[in-house]
């Protein structure tokens, strides 16, 4: 009898027979980079998660935590994946205290559902996160990957918004850190340790966030420019001004075409400025920024509000999802660098892509020094493997030269096997290895997927 068959009865006992799945089609749907689990478990309480993890540790079973799977293409190839631990039954908002601007919710609830419920509370509240796949991404997945979107410029990332967590560590212990008050940390801040750890140190089960009241008005300014230098300079001026934009994005022509913007038809580069706040303040900023744009060679000024505002930012935020839906073959990267170098990096990436004969879409969070790049490989990706590997190396070199780093966010498994998606090893990798060895000595949580192959 195969080893897994011997372990199934105990796992069924913990989660219930209905919540242990071995259907081949469903297992195939949970495959990651060609590797398929032997079972899918869906615990319904933190206690059940604890028992599953403790048993997996005892039996040396590897676990891959998964919500709706929106980020499964990211990170390294799993060394091994025996069981997918689904968090989708952990889907409750356990404490919504809008008066004190805090929310506690389980890790398997989608962010989109949280936002809809908060919208109905009093005058309306929101969790100031806008990562890719906002509608489907679960809170646990967002936090585990420290995923963020354009509005991080004003509101920050998950690291800035989380004040408490409950997580199950590899030995099965339930570890609570922080709470509902902001000044609540003494000793090690376990919340920060788990954010962005890709489920390799513990399984997030419940998270407490800071909330905000909905802004009175949200507006977007779209400003097209002919030259990249003009767009970058204008974005820098706004960043250094007295204005408080929620986002400053610079998009190249390829991205503007792909999102099918109905507003802007001119220019090679588009500066998109998001504004949140009191109506009177927004009106003043729109007017003043518009006047500055006219003096800075902007070809036109378009103002988006309500539905057009929301649909525009959704198209930017979920750009990769749109590419998948249209059947595009692409590889994507996330680069970070000095904020002052965004023009140099964007220009270099476009030059490399043009000389290589491929199209490249660029979305730059210019106020944060982050650039999302999409290289369209066309048909016959396998035959272009060496070419694409060289392109990745060139992009990475540009990021490093500008005091940054490059991560490959998505690519075919054949290419992923030949590279480290996390880029060149850095000093902090050794710290992560030591943490992993101390916390998860048997390596049961997501082995091989995080930095340094841990």
DSSP state string for 296-317: TT-S--EEEEHHHHHHHHHHHH
Q: Sorting pLDDT into bands at 50, 70 and 90, what band is 85?
A: very high
Tokens of 55: 């048993």
| Residues 339 and 369: beta-carbon distance below 8 Å | yes
- In CATH terms, is domain 319-416 a member of 3.30.70.2740? yes
Q: CB under 8 Å to 318, separation ≥6 — which residues?
A: 132, 133, 134
CATH topology of domain 3-88: 3.30.43
User: 10 Å Cβ neighbour count for 206?
Assistant: 21
Band of residue 260 on the pLDDT scale cut at 50, 70, 90: confident
CB atoms within 10 A of CB 441: 11
Please report where in the chains the tokens 């999802």 appear, as a residue.
321
CB 178 within 8 A of CB 165: yes
Kindly report the average pLDDT of the chain as a whole number: 92
What is the sign, positive or negative, of the torsion defined by CA atoms of 220, 221, 225, 227?
negative
Spatial contact of 68 and 27, defined as CB atoms under 8 Å apart: no
User: 116 is written with which tokens?
Assistant: 């809809």
Domain 217-317, what architecture? 2-Layer Sandwich (3.30)
Q: CATH: 3.40.50.11060, 3.30.465.10, 1.10.287.4070, 3.40.50.300. Which one for 93-213?
A: 3.30.465.10
Counts for the chain of helices (H) and strands (E), in that order: 17, 19
Is the confidence at residue 187, as pLDDT, over 60?
Answer: no
Residue 191 pLDDT > 90: no
217-317 and 319-416, same CATH topology: yes
> Between 4 and 284, whose confidence is greater?
284
Q: Which structure tokens are listed for 70? A: 């929106």
> Does residue 380 carry a pLDDT above 80?
no
**Radius of gyration from C-alpha coordinates of the chain:** 23
Can you tell me which residue has the tokens 């004003």? Answer: 154
Scanning 139-178, the segments in alpha helix (DSSP H) are: 139-144, 152-155, 158-161
Longest distance between any two alpha carbons in the chain, whole Å: 76
Q: How many CB atoms lie within 10 A of CB 379?
A: 8
**Total residues found in the chain within this entry:** 454
Q: Indicate if the pLDDT at residue 265 is higher than 70.
A: no
Whole-model pTM: value is: 0.94
Residue ranges of domains in the chain:
3-88, 93-213, 217-317, 319-416
Task: Report the C-alpha gap between 443 and 421 in whole angstroms.
Answer: 20
Q: How many CA atoms does the CB half-sphere of 281 hold within 13 Å?
A: 12
Cα torsion angle, 354, 360, 361, 365, sign: negative
Each residue's pLDDT tens digit, 268-308 = 999 999 999 999 999 999 999 999 999 999 999 999 998 89
């Amino acid at each position: 009898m195969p080893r897994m068959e011997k372990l199934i009865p105990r796992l069924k006992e913990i989660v219930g027979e209905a919540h242990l799945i071995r259907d081949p089609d469903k297992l195939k749907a949970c495959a990651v980079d060609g590797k398929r689990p032997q079972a899918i478990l869906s615990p319904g309480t933190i206690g059940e998660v604890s028992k599953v993890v403790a048993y997996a540790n005892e039996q040396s079973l590897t676990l891959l935590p998964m919500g709706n799977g929106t980020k499964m293409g990211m990170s390294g190839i799993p060394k091994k994946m025996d069981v997918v631990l689904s968090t989708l039954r952990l889907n409750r908002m356990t404490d919504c205290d809008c008066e004190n601007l805090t929310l506690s919710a389980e890790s398997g609830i989608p962010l989109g559902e949280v936002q809809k419920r908060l919208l109905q509370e009093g005058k309306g509240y929101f969790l100031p996160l806008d990562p890719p796949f906002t509608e489907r991404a679960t809170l646990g997945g967002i936090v585990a990957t420290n995923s963020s979107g354009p509005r991080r410029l004003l509101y920050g990332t998950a690291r800035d918004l989380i004040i408490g967590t409950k997580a199950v560590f590899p030995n099965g212990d339930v570890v609570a850190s922080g709470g509902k008050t902001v000044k609540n940390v003494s000793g090690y801040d376990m919340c920060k340790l788990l954010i962005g750890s890709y489920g390799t140190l513990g399984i997030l089960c419940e998270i407490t966030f800071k909330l905000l009241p909905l802004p009175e008005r949200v507006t977007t300014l779209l400003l097209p420019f002919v030259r990249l230098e003009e767009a970058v300079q204008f974005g820098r001026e706004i960043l250094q001004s007295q204005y408080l934009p929620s986002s400053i994005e610079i998009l190249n022509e390829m991205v503007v075409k792909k999102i099918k913007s109905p507003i802007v038809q001119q220019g090679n580069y588009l500066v998109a400025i998001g504004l949140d706040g009191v109506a009177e303040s927004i009106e003043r900023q729109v007017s003043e920024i518009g006047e500055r744009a006219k003096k800075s060679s902007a070809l036109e000024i378009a103002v988006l509000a309500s539905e057009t505002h929301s649909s525009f930012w959704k198209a930017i935020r979920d750009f990769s999802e749109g590419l998948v839906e249209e059947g595009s073959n692409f590889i994507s990267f996330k680069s970070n660098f000095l904020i002052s170098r965004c023009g140099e990096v964007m220009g270099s990436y476009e030059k490399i892509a043009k000389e290589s004969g491929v199209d490249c879409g660029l979305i730059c969070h210019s106020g944060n020094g982050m650039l999302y790049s999409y290289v369209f490989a066309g048909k016959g990706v396998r035959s272009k493997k060496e070419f694409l590997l060289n392109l990745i190396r060139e992009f990475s070199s540009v990021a490093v030269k500008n005091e940054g780093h490059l991560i490959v966010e998505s690519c075919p498994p054949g290419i992923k096997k030949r590279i480290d998606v996390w880029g060149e090893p850095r000093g902090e990798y050794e710290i992560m290895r030591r943490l992993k060895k101390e916390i998860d000595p048997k390596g049961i949580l997501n082995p091989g997927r995080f930095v340094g192959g841990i």
